[in-house]
Homo-oligomer: A and B are copies of this chain.
């Protein structure tokens, strides 16, 4: 597990907290991606806000999504860095095979 995932795990373990169930984490992911979607519509959609602190807002929303994914990953022994690396590899291989 990567550094942030480990910190999260040690914190939960120190507190004696269980992680949520997979379905509860999923519901939370849906909630967090929904908040991200609202921000995208606010910045780029029909009701455009003035540009401003948007990068910080987006970092917050992405962070909350990643937090949810890290909880799931920690309960399944998955390293998010490795998962992302494998996904990039997959897309690159698929792209190479086009030619």
Chain A contact residues, CB within 8 Å of chain B: 1-4, 7-8, 11, 20-24, 26-38, 40-41, 43-46, 54-55, 58-60, 62-67, 69-70, 72-73, 76-78, 80-88, 90-92
Contact pick for A81, options B4, B33, B43, B54, CB 8 Å: B4
Cα distance A86–B70 in the bound complex, in angstroms = 13
Known: A34-B38, A55-B78. 12 other contacts (CB 8 A): A1-B2, A4-B85, A20-B45, A23-B40, A23-B44, A26-B40, A27-B37, A30-B37, A60-B87, A63-B85, A66-B69, A66-B80
If the complex has contacts A59-B78, A65-B69, A69-B65, are A30 and B28 also in contact, measured as CB distance less than 8 A?
no
